Chain A
């Protein structure tokens, strides 16, 4: 049976939700093999039993302090030894960089930002702001594929993977850059923008007041996003920007409040499963994209919706 290796993404001792999605894709192709790089792999490995994982390869040590270069070198050695049918990694900034370096090291083709991969290793990508769907395949080497978070619902599983400790040798040239200090993102009570099942975003129409947007987000258990106009104006942190030059999200539900829907913004949210828009301007392009659109003032519509949702929850 063919083996598919994927990298476990973890932060602060917690496995990322998207890793479960990688395991699910891997299992549909063949034997699902997770790779864990961690100072203390044991605490990560136990969390993997909730995903369809057949085997875990652990590498202990602090490779992360040298950034993508060292992780890529370790992964290239594992791929050379295990000869998998494919290597999967989540499409984060670091994930794509690691994938790029692994592709160079292993002499393999790379496909980034896939939203699906089938058992024949044909990938699906949504490009040009979601206006075009592309099917592609790697033709040389071990297919290196980065997958966007939220592309698939992670399969629930109770697995008892076998584990193998793997020793890697990191060369001096992979240690040229060093991380000297790190500041984790200060987590609010809200989910991560790129991983959230629901995103509520505000734009120019908020006039800088994101309170109604945040209130609806909290009622729905959603992440908060913002258009470029809103982040450029300094109304909301840049890290929340959705769009071509910001984050790409693909949640179950995307609520756009006071966002006109320029192509720059649509590029970051067009693949959302359901889109709801609230805008005062009946001509706003976002209204044409929405499954449900309210032409009206977000300062009336959002608080009413928020109150209604809270009331329903009792």
Chain B
């Protein structure tokens, strides 16, 4: 069979940049935007699944399988999408609409699930979280909305094409679990799973010709009342920069640094 894989990606503020709040939400306008680090692992894993199951051992044309990127965000999210396309994904869908601004995780998962439903995908891959919101709930919410098997926090993924099933090793605080489900399923992958490839020159050139289909909210079939800041089911009351820590004690080791450290701990009743 030919697999249809969707990979959810997000453009986020550069995680090395300083982030601030503006009017109750993250100020996105004034920071550099990049492809969410953690989504690169999902893109890489999608490519590896295709390569492992294709006669030519290469993603793209001829493999019989397809990888579509799905992203929700402003127009400029195409920059992040191009990067993932240059890694080797085939095409992309960008859901972009002014009414989506300020959407919470519930609305985001609603929109993504609605678009995924239309595509007849066998597998949906995600990163475990976005480095801006860091909620790590969207993959589970998508699985819930689609009523598909949820295989998340995968440290290993094994697809059995003949059986139309997928098995993962779920990595959690409490240990590892082997979990499996039939297609279609929603996966999230942890950063330990692989080493994302750098786009090759050929990949970058090819990405320029790949199709990014832009959808408006109306194209998804959802109403504006379902999404955006006004439909969010939680609200920020206030946000304050954390008071700076008081200047601490700095001690240059003169051979007694360890002893001084313990004195401090004892004084604080920490040792």
Contact = CB atoms under 8 A, between A and B. Distances in A.
Chain A interface size range: 35 or more
Interface stretch (B67-75, B93-101, B132-140, B208-216): B132-140
A55 interface: no
Interface string A244-272: 11000000110000000011100000000
A289 B233 contact: no
A263 B233 contact: no
Interface stretch (A19-27, A30-38, A135-143, A161-169): A135-143
B177 A134 contact: no
A176 B179 contact: no
A136 B235 contact: yes
Interface string A269-313: 000001110100010000101111111110011111111110010
B257 A294 contact: yes
Nearest to A194: B173
Interface stretch (B50-58, B116-124, B247-255): B247-255
A214 interface: no
Interface stretch (A40-48, A110-118, A152-160, A202-210): A110-118
Nearest to B231: A140
B239 A134 contact: yes
Interface in B128-175: 128, 131, 134-141, 143-145, 147-153, 167, 170-175
A93 B173 contact: yes
B271 A294 contact: no
A81 interface: no
Contact of B145 (A93, A104, A132, A134): A104
Nearest to B246: A291
Given A244-B131, A295-B250, A302-B258, A180 B178 contact: yes
B173 A101 contact: no
B252 to A, nearest CB: 5
B239 A238 contact: no
Given A137-B237, A263-B16, A182 B261 contact: no
Interface in B36-68: 37-38
Interface in B243-271: 245-246, 248-253, 255-262, 264-266, 268, 270-271
Interface in B168-209: 170-182, 185, 191-192
B195 to A, nearest CB: 10
Given A93-B153, A173-B147, A122 B237 contact: yes
Interface stretch (B2-10, B78-86, B102-110): B102-110
B236 interface: yes
Contact of A133 (B172, B176, B242): B242
A135 B237 contact: yes
B236 A136 contact: yes
B218 interface: no
Tell me whether chain A's interface is mostly helix, strand or loop, or mixed: mixed
B258 A295 contact: no
B104 A109 contact: yes
A297 B109 CA distance: 49
A188 interface: no
B100 to A, nearest CB: 18
A126 interface: yes
A305 B262 contact: yes
Nearest to B235: A139
Given A136-B234, A253-B270, A291-B249, A181 B265 contact: no
A98 B152 CA distance: 12
A94 interface: yes
A96 B245 contact: no
A253 B265 contact: yes
Given A94-B172, A184-B174, A264-B16, A100 B249 contact: no
Nearest to B171: A239
A217 interface: no
B165 to A, nearest CB: 10
B255 to A, nearest CB: 8
Given A140-B233, A198-B270, A300-B258, A100 B15 contact: no
A214 B139 CA distance: 36
Contacts of B232: 109, 139
A184 B175 contact: yes
A305 B235 contact: no
Question: Which of B145, B167, B260 lies at the interface centre, i.e. has the most chain A CB atoms within 10 A of its CB?
Answer: B260
Given A137-B237, A138-B234, A113 B134 contact: yes
A77 interface: no
A176 B266 CA distance: 54
B241 interface: yes
Question: Which of A126, A137, A287, A293 lies at the interface centre, i.e. has the most chain B CB atoms within 10 A of its CB?
Answer: A293
A86 to B, nearest CB: 12
14 contacts: A96-B137, A104-B145, A133-B240, A136-B236, A143-B234, A177-B149, A178-B179, A198-B270, A296-B253, A297-B253, A303-B258, A304-B256, A308-B258, A312-B271
- The 7 A-B residue pairs whose C-beta atoms are closest, nearest first, are A296-B253, A304-B258, A109-B233, A100-B137, A176-B149, A305-B258, A97-B140
Given A183-B176, A295-B253, 13 more contacts: A69-B150, A72-B144, A103-B233, A110-B135, A135-B237, A184-B175, A239-B171, A253-B270, A263-B16, A276-B265, A296-B252, A307-B258, A308-B262
